[in-house]
Amino acid sequence: MTSGKKPTLGKEDDQPSVSSGKQGQQPQWADGLKQLYDAVVDEPLPDSFKDLLSQLDDKSSDESSQN
């Protein structure tokens, strides 16, 4: 016989901290994630990537001038 209640999968303390239905509030980890994202975006592009992109641009401009 079951009581009709869903089993709990852990204590309330184990649940991630999120807003309680209020819009505009973010989980606690969101600020750290945004800081990490911003740091990665602000990193300079390595020279090897710049060279590769330059080679691709040269190829695409050569192909478009041939048509």
- Residue 45 CA to residue 51 CA, distance in Å, equals 10
Per-residue pLDDT of the chain (67 residues; tens, 9 = 90+): 555 555 444 444 454 555 455 567 889 999 999 999 999 999 999 999 999 999 999 988 887 777 6
What is the predicted pLDDT for the residue at 33? 96
pTM: 0.39
User: Any idea of the CA torsion for 54, 55, 56, 61, to the nearest 10 degrees?
Assistant: 90
